[in-house]
Amino acid sequence: MKVAIVNDSRTAAEVLRRILAELPEFELIWTAYSGEEALRLAADKRPEIILMDLIMPGIDGAETTRRIMQTTPCVILVVTATTVGNRSLVFEAMGYGALDAVNTPVMGTAGDMAGAEPLLQKLRMVARLVGPGRHTDRPSSPAGAQAGLISRITPPSNLAIVAIGSSTGGPQALAQLLGALPGNFPAAVLVAQHVDEQFAPGLAAWLQHHAPMPVSIGVDGERLVAGHVYLAGSNDHMILERSGEGGVLRYTPHPRETAYRPSVDALFSSLAHSHRAPRVGVLLTGMGRDGGEGLLAMRQAGAYTIAQDKATSIVYGMPKAAADLKAAMEILPLGQIGARVRDAILAGKVRTADPLRG
């Protein structure tokens, strides 16, 4: 896979070059030392992956990401000195289309690369998502994701639930959608955003600035309540275990083989069962196919399902998968989804005449 480096620090760029040199499946095609230079080089020779710094003179990494995703889109991994210290820029870049973020590895006195493993893991994950043979790496089917839940089936839930899945470009999309829902929203909102668990608490805090409802990391064993947003906060998959009148959040490592973590399919599939209260599934912008099968399972179980349209998606991968499967009852621009979700819940909308239900 063809890789480019964008970093104003020549030392950091050299560290990244040495790491890539040890990986025969990746080829470094150019290095840029500013955002402006990166825009020129990307237009001339588009890479498949860019390792993007954030803090640079002139155009910073977030703005460079925005412009590249508009003109020569590719996979962008943020690689910066401190992802925690640059948290706001990390989420800004992810909102513009960066896939993930990791701290810049540091060269030790003996020439070893301290902190290289997280970057290597991200690169392997990207290779599984967009490299050759990527279509064989499909998430487990909804039926498979549900297998571990069958023994815990209880009567249908009375709690209204909205489940949202997102990936590339997701933070900004989530901020806009959640901002359209009122603080007294009569449903629990579950969110699976593809993000490393180290960034999940920061993402929850960032989303809280945009959402009238409380936003927190979902805790294993936590019982759901209406008017609250629960963000998946682990590299394991957040699912709903039915219990009593509502439900309890659980985390599971299964399916282990999927490159998508936390898995949107796993979350959606855990909600694909009978329910008395309204249930809404929403699939937002993102690379890959995660969530399409799970959204279809939700639709077949009677949920109201929505996918973001191509025009407003940073990457039209996950929503396209849903559209191809006819999993979405509506395909809407991002600006209309929040209002539609709100109206569906407030109207008590439960689908009983969907032609896809068998």
Task: Give the pLDDT of residue 325.
Answer: 97
Task: Give the pLDDT of residue 235.
Answer: 87
Q: Which residues pair with 223 in a beta bridge?
A: 248
Task: Give the pLDDT of residue 260.
Answer: 80
Query: Is the CB of residue 92 less than 8 Å from the CB of residue 168?
Result: no
263 assigned to active site: no
- The whole-chain average pLDDT of the chain stands at 87
Q: Which residues pair with 306 in a beta bridge?
A: 282, 330
DSSP string, 48-86: SEEEE-S--SSS-HHHHHHHHHHHS--EEEEEES-TTTT
228 assigned to active site: no
Tokens representing residue 353 in the block:
């005449």
Task: Give the pLDDT of residue 114.
Answer: 63
* Weakest-pLDDT range from 255-269, 282-296, 298-312, 320-334: 255-269
Task: Give the pLDDT of residue 354.
Answer: 59
Q: What is the pLDDT of residues 36-81, one digit of tens each?
A: 999 999 999 999 999 999 999 999 999 999 999 999 999 999 998 8
**Residue 37, CA distances (Å) to 61, 100, 234 in order:** 12, 22, 36
Residue keyed to tokens 């790496």: 137
* Weakest-pLDDT range from 69-78, 154-163, 168-177, 225-234: 154-163
More reliable by pLDDT, 131 or 129: 129
Residue 340 pLDDT greater than 70, yes or no: yes
Residue 115 pLDDT greater than 90, yes or no: no
Task: Give the residue ranges of DSSP H helices in the chain.
Answer: 10-21, 35-44, 61-71, 87-96, 116-130, 142-146, 170-179, 200-208, 264-270, 292-300, 318-324, 334-346
Residue 142 pLDDT greater than 70, yes or no: no
Domains identified in the chain and CATH numbers: 2-136 (3.40.50.2300), 142-346 (3.40.50.180)
The span from the CA of 210 to the CA of 179, in Å, is 5
Tokens representing residue 148 in the block:
């571990």
Q: Considering the candidates 273, 290, 309, 313, report the single residue annotated as catalytic.
A: 290
More reliable by pLDDT, 149 or 343: 343
Task: List, in order, residues 6 or more apart from 19 with CB less than 8 Å away.
Answer: 105, 113, 116, 119, 120
Per DSSP bridges, beta strands 304-308 and 237-243 are unpaired
What is the average per-residue pLDDT within 15-23? 92
Q: Which pLDDT band holds residue 111 (cuts at 50, 70, 90)?
A: low
Query: Is the CB of residue 267 less than 8 Å from the CB of residue 165?
Result: yes
Q: What are phi and psi of 311, to 5 degrees?
A: -60, -35
More reliable by pLDDT, 151 or 293: 293
Task: Give the pLDDT of residue 209.
Answer: 93
Task: Give the pLDDT of residue 136.
Answer: 37
Q: Considering the candidates 194, 237, 273, 275, report the single residue annotated as catalytic.
A: 194
Task: Give the pLDDT of residue 261.
Answer: 84
Q: How does DSSP classify residue 222? A: P
The span from the CA of 54 to the CA of 56, in Å, is 6
Q: Which pLDDT band holds residue 10 (cuts at 50, 70, 90)?
A: very high
137 assigned to active site: no
Task: Give the pLDDT of residue 106.
Answer: 81
Q: In what order do the strands lie in the sheet with 304-308?
A: 215-217, 228-231, 188-193, 161-166, 279-283, 304-308, 330-332
Residue 307 pLDDT greater than 50, yes or no: yes
Task: Give the pLDDT of residue 356.
Answer: 58
Helix (H) or strand (E) holding 330: strand 330-332
Q: Which pLDDT band holds residue 177 (cuts at 50, 70, 90)?
A: very high
Task: Give the pLDDT of residue 300.
Answer: 95
Tokens representing residue 74 in the block:
């590719």
Residue 112 pLDDT greater than 80, yes or no: no
Q: What is the pLDDT of residues 245-291, one digit of tens each?
A: 668 999 999 888 787 889 999 999 999 987 788 999 999 999 889 99
Task: Give the pLDDT of residue 355.
Answer: 52
Quick one: what percent of the chain has pLDDT higher than 90? 66
Task: Give the pLDDT of residue 37.
Answer: 98
